[in-house]
Chains A and B, each alone.
Chain A
Amino acid sequence: MALEAAVVEELRRIVGRESVIDSANDLRIFERDASIEGAIPDAVVLAASTEEVARVIKVAAKHRIPVVPRGAGTGLSGGAVTIRGGIALQVTRMRRILEIDTVAQTAVVEPGVVNQELSLVAASHGLFYAPDPSSQKACTIGGNAAENSGGPHCLYYGVTTNHVLGMEVVLADGSVHWVSGDAPDRIGLDLCGVLVGSEGTLCAITKIKVRLLRIPPSVATLLAAFPTIETASHAVSAIIARGIVPAALEMMDHMTVGAVEAHYHAGYPTDAGAVLLVEVDGIAESTRELMGAIREVLEENEGYALREAQTPAERDLLWAGRKGAIGALGRIKPNYYLHDGVVPRSRLPQVLSAVGEIGEHYKLPVANVFHAGDGNLHPNILFDLRDRDVLQQVEGAGEEMLRAVVELGGALSGEHGIGLEKSAFMPWVYSPDDLDAMQRVKRVLDVDGILNPGKIFPDPTREQVHLAGRTGLAIEAKWW
C-alpha cells in the first residue's frame, strides 16, 4: 500500500527529493535481505544523519507507519524485511568513521560503516575490531549491533555486545539518546546492553562506540582433516577440555570442502569427512605452545593431514575458503537456506547426525560449515528456487533441524537473530511469561509498535502456513 502523497512529501522535505524511493520498480530492490521471505516496502528513505533519522521516525510515529531500519541487507532471518509495509529506513549513507582513539582503543562509527572497513582502518594503528561475521565485507556495524552478530573469532573474543561500549540511538518517538559510552560502569539500567541485539525493534542505531583490540603479534592457523563429522566434533570438545580456548575453531563437512576446494584451490583435503580450521593468536610463545598442544589433541582424535599456514598469504587462503564457503556452495545449487541454532558443544555429534537424517528424509543436500567451538550450527540446505515446490520442503527441513537443536537444550539462533523467520518458534524455548517480560520492554519503548513490527515475537495476525497442525510440539522452557 503506497504511503499518502502528503507523507511522502514530508519525508522528502527531510532527506531531499532523491532520497525517498517510492516507485514500484525501485522498491523491489529492497524486498528482501539474505533470507527467503520478502515484502516490498511502501517507501525507502535514505537518511544521511542522526537528525534525519530522528525526523523520519517522528513522521512515522505521527502517522503510525512501520519503520524498519536497514543496513546492508545481509541479514539471514528476515530482520530488514518490511513485512507490514511502511518505510525501510536505510542508513548506509551514514558511513563515516568518526573517531579512532588509539590511546583509549576505541572507535566511534556511523551505523553504515562496513565491518571490514573499520578493521582495515584500525589496522593502520595496530588495532582491530574483533567481531568478524563471515559477511564482513558487506554487512554494517549498525546491522551487527542490531543483530548482536558473531563470527569465527568470537569463540575467544566474544560477540558484538562484548565490544559495543555505547550507542547513539533514536527511539520510536524520535528522541535521540546516548546509551552508555566511555566509562566501564554506567549508572542506572544497562539500556545499551538491551538495545544491542534488539533487531531494529526498539531503536534505530545512529552511532556506535566500539572497543578496538591490539592486533596480536603472532597467529597460527591450522587445517586438520577427520574421517567423519563425529570424530571432528569430539576433537572440538577435546581441545576445549584441555583448557585451550582457541581464537577460532570452525568446522566444514565433506560437501562444503568439495565446493570450497573447487572454487578456492586452498588445498583443503577433499577426501575428508570433515575438516577443522583452528586458529590461535597471541605472542609467539603462546601460539607455539598452544598449537603444539592442539596438534596432539587432534591427532589423538583421528585428525590427519594437519597443515599449518606458513605465510600470511596461506592463512588468508585458508580463511577465504571458510568465509567464502556459503558462496562456493552455489556450485552445488543456486540457493541456500540456513539456520544457526546453537547446542551445548558436547551435543554436536548428536545434532549433526539429526541434521543429516533430516536432510536425507527431505532428499535435500545439506552442507555444514559452522562455528564448532561455540556449538553454533550452520546447516545450509541447498536447493533451486526455480523449483517452486521445493521451498516448502526446505522450510520444513529447516524447522525440523531447529527442533532437534531445541530438544538438545539449545537455542534458536546464535548470531543471525530471530527476525521474521523464527518468531513463531520462540514459544519452543520461552514460556509465555518469559516472552511477556521481553515484550514489556518493547511496549514501553515503542508504545505504538512502529519499529520493525512483526519480528522476534510470535505474530498472531500472520498465518504461518508451514506451522499449521504442529502446535503440539511446543517445548516448555524447563531448563533450570
Chain B
Amino acid sequence: MVVKGPHELGGFAVSSRGPLIAPVVEKPATAEELARRLHEAAESRSAVIPVGGGRAGGMGGPPLRCDVELHTTNLDRVLEHSQADMVVSVEAGITLEALQAELGKAGQFLPLDPFNSPGHTIGGLLATGWAGPLRQRFGSARDFLIGIRVALPDGHLASAGGRVVKNVSGYDLMKLHFGAMGSLGVIVAASFKVFPRPLHDITVEKTNDSIEDAWDAAGRALDLPLAPSALELFSDGRVLARFFGSPDAVNRMVAELGWKAAGSSLWAEHSRRGPESWARISVPRNALRGIVSGLPEGAQWWASPGAGIAHWSFGDRLEDVRTARAAAESAQGSLVLMAAPAGVAGELGAWGTPPPTLEVMRRIKRAFDPDGILNPGRFVV
C-alpha cells in the first residue's frame, strides 16, 4: 500500500466539486494481488478507480468518489506470444507500444491506433473501447479480443474466451467488459488474435479547396474495389488514405486515385492528437457527412467516414456540443466526451441520453459490483 503524495494523474486533479485526491494508491504486481486489493476495497465499500496509462483519463463522468486508485502499471508482461498461431496474451498494464514492439519482432501487429497516443495500456483501451483510423478495415479491439481475465469486486478472478481464434464455449464476456469503462471489474489480462504486417503499406494524401470536395474525394476512395484500410478526413479539407495489401493491388488503387504520396509517419503523428476538450461522434456511416456539416463554422474535427466516426475538438463551445449531440442522437448515434476540463463533463453529461436498455444493464452491473464501488459516476450504468 502506498499513501498518495501529490496527484500523479495529469488533467483531472480537480473534479466538479473541487480537488479529488485518492488517499490510497495501489500498484499490485500480480493479478492475484490486484484481486485481493479490489476485494479489500469492496469489503470496506471504498470507491476504486482502475488506472491504466492515464491516456483516456477524461472519458466518462467525473468520479463521484475515489478512495483507492488501482494501477495496472506493474502488470505489464507479455504472457505468451505464439507467433505461429498469431495469438498473444498480455497483462492489462502493458502499453500498446510495448506490445507492438513485441509483435513487430515477428512481423505482426495489433491493428489498434488510438488517439492521444502513446501510453495507452491494453486494459484502458479495452475498458474504453477506443480505436483509431484502422478501424475502417479491422474493426475495433472488440473484433479481435479472444480472451479476457478480470478481477471482480468479490475478489475472484474470472476468465472467458481462450487463446484460440474461434471459440463459442460459454458466454462472450469479452464483449461484456469491452467498453464497460471498468464498471464491472478490473481487466488483468487479455488475449488477442493478431495480424501479419501488410505486404505493402502506402499512404496518399489529397488537399481540397472545399470541404465538400473533400467528402466527395473520400467517398471515391472508399468506393474503390480495394478500399483503404484507413481514411481520415480533416476539417481543413485534407484527406489521408492508407492502403494495405499485395503490392500490385495497392499500386493500382493508388494510381487510380492519383493522390499525392505521403509518408506513413503521418499516422503516428495523427494518433498523438488528443485535444483538451474533444468529443467522439459515432453515427451510421451514411449520416456522418450531414452531422459533421452541421458543426459550427470553423470547427476543428477529423473524421473516419468509412466507419461513421468523427472526433471534434470543441473548445469551450458547450451549446454547440448540445446541438451536435441532439443531431447525432436523432440519427441513432451518439456524441461522447473523450476529454473535457473539470466541470464540463458534469455540465454536459459525458455520455448523452442513456439507452432504453439501461435497466437491464444496471441489473448486470449489480451482479458484478453490488456496492457500486467501481468507477462510481464515470459510466452510464
Return the CB mask of A202-235 against B: 1 if under 8 Å, else 0: 1000000000001011000000000000000000
**B4 close to A (CB within 8 Å):** no
Interface set, chain A 424-476, CB cutoff 8 A to B: 426, 429-431, 433-438, 440-445, 456
- A433/B84 contact (C-beta < 8 A), A286-B249, A411-B167 known: no
Residues of B near A426 (CB, < 8 A) are 169-170
Residues of B near A184 (CB, < 8 A) are 135, 140, 282, 285, 307-309
**A263 close to B (CB within 8 Å):** no
**B90 shortest CB reach to chain A, Å:** 10
**A104 close to B (CB within 8 Å):** yes
A162-B197 Cα distance, complex, nearest whole Å: 21
Contact check, A413 vs B354: say whether CB atoms are below 8 A apart: no
Residues of A near B285 (CB, < 8 A) are 104, 184
Task: Give the nearest-CB partner of A288 in chain B.
Answer: B248
**A467 shortest CB reach to chain B, Å:** 17
Contact check, A285 vs B189: say whether CB atoms are below 8 A apart: no
Residues of A near B158 (CB, < 8 A) are 431, 433-434, 436-437
Contact check, B226 vs A286: say whether CB atoms are below 8 A apart: yes
Q: Which of B232-240, B268-276, B315-323, B330-338 contacts A (4 or more CB under 8 A)?
A: B330-338
Residues of A near B17 (CB, < 8 A) are none
Contact check, A445 vs B360: say whether CB atoms are below 8 A apart: yes
Task: Give the nearest-CB partner of A158 in chain B.
Answer: B143
Contact check, B168 vs A282: say whether CB atoms are below 8 A apart: no
What size tier do the contact residues of chain B reach?
Answer: 35 or more
Contact check, B196 vs A150: say whether CB atoms are below 8 A apart: no
Residues of B near A35 (CB, < 8 A) are none
A186-B381 Cα distance, complex, nearest whole Å: 13
**B178 close to A (CB within 8 Å):** yes
**B54 close to A (CB within 8 Å):** no
Interface set, chain A 181-214, CB cutoff 8 A to B: 181-194, 196-198, 202, 214
Task: Point out the residue from B169, B245, B253, B354 that lies within 8 Å of A429, measured CB to CB.
Answer: B169
**A140 shortest CB reach to chain B, Å:** 17
Residues of A near B366 (CB, < 8 A) are 444
- A438/B84 contact (C-beta < 8 A), A171-B360, A480-B79 known: no
Contact check, B157 vs A376: say whether CB atoms are below 8 A apart: no
Contact check, B199 vs A243: say whether CB atoms are below 8 A apart: yes
What size tier do the contact residues of chain A reach?
Answer: 35 or more
Residues of A near B140 (CB, < 8 A) are 184
Q: Which of B20-28, B40-48, B148-156 contacts A (4 or more CB under 8 A)?
A: B148-156
Task: Point out the residue from B334, B361, B367 that lies within 8 Å of A440, measured CB to CB.
Answer: B367
A359-B278 Cα distance, complex, nearest whole Å: 61
- A183/B332 contact (C-beta < 8 A), A376-B166, A414-B166 known: yes
Contact check, A289 vs B247: say whether CB atoms are below 8 A apart: yes
Residues of B near A187 (CB, < 8 A) are 334, 336, 351-355, 380
A218-B31 Cα distance, complex, nearest whole Å: 48
**B142 close to A (CB within 8 Å):** yes
Return the CB mask of A339-359 against B: 1 if under 8 Å, else 0: 000111110000000000000
**B163 close to A (CB within 8 Å):** yes
Q: Which of B140, B157, B360, B363 has the most CB atoms of chain A within a 10 A radius of its CB?
A: B360
Contact check, B308 vs A434: say whether CB atoms are below 8 A apart: no
- A435/B170 contact (C-beta < 8 A), A189-B361, A190-B179, A240-B196 known: yes
Task: Point out the residue from A188, A241, A418, A434 that lies within 8 Å of B357, measured CB to CB.
Answer: A188
Return the CB mask of B242-280 against A: 1 if under 8 Å, else 0: 000111110111000000000000000000000000001
**B368 close to A (CB within 8 Å):** yes
Task: Give the nearest-CB partner of A149 in chain B.
Answer: B168
- A154/B166 contact (C-beta < 8 A), A193-B176, A344-B85 known: yes
**A391 shortest CB reach to chain B, Å:** 24
Contact check, B166 vs A159: say whether CB atoms are below 8 A apart: yes
Residues of A near B70 (CB, < 8 A) are none
Residues of B near A416 (CB, < 8 A) are 168
**B107 close to A (CB within 8 Å):** yes
Interface set, chain A 365-389, CB cutoff 8 A to B: 371, 374-376
Residues of A near B373 (CB, < 8 A) are none
A142-B180 Cα distance, complex, nearest whole Å: 26
Residues of B near A417 (CB, < 8 A) are 168
Return the CB mask of A290-317 against B: 1 if under 8 Å, else 0: 1000000000000000000000000000
Residues of B near A346 (CB, < 8 A) are 82, 84-85
Residues of A near B331 (CB, < 8 A) are 182-183
Mind listing 18 A-B residue pairs with CB under 8 Å? A104-B284, A104-B286, A182-B284, A188-B357, A189-B179, A189-B184, A202-B171, A283-B252, A285-B246, A286-B249, A290-B246, A343-B164, A411-B164, A412-B169, A415-B168, A429-B162, A438-B170, A456-B170
What is the interface of chain A, defined by CB distance below 8 A to chain B? Answer: 103-104, 147-148, 150, 154, 158-159, 161-162, 171, 177-179, 181-194, 196-198, 202, 214, 216-217, 237, 240-245, 282-283, 285-286, 288-290, 342-346, 371, 374-376, 409-418, 422, 426, 429-431, 433-438, 440-445, 456, 477, 479-480
Closest 6 CB pairs of A and B: A193-B175, A243-B196, A437-B158, A285-B248, A183-B333, A286-B249
- Identify 12 new A-B residue pairs, CB closer than 8 A, beyond the known A188-B381, A189-B365: A158-B143, A182-B332, A183-B334, A184-B282, A186-B334, A188-B358, A285-B249, A288-B248, A376-B166, A415-B168, A456-B170, A480-B159
